[in-house]
Amino acid sequence: MLIATLASLVLAPSTIQLTSTAGGVVDPLRDAKRSTVLFFLTEECPISRKYSPEMGRIARDYGRERFRYFAVHVDPATTLARAKAHAKSFRLPFP
Give the tens place of pLDDT for each residue, 22-78. 778 888 878 778 888 989 998 889 999 899 999 999 999 998 888 989 899 989 898
The pLDDT, as a whole number, for residue 4 is 46
Rounded CA-CA distance 20/84 in Å is 9
Provide the whole-model pTM: 0.74
Is residue 87 within 8 Å of residue 71, measured between CB atoms?
yes
Of 15 and 9, more confident: 15
How many other CB atoms sit within 10 Å of the CB of residue 59?
20
The pLDDT, as a whole number, for residue 24 is 83
Quick check: 9 pLDDT over 60? Answer: no
Quick check: 8 pLDDT over 60? Answer: no
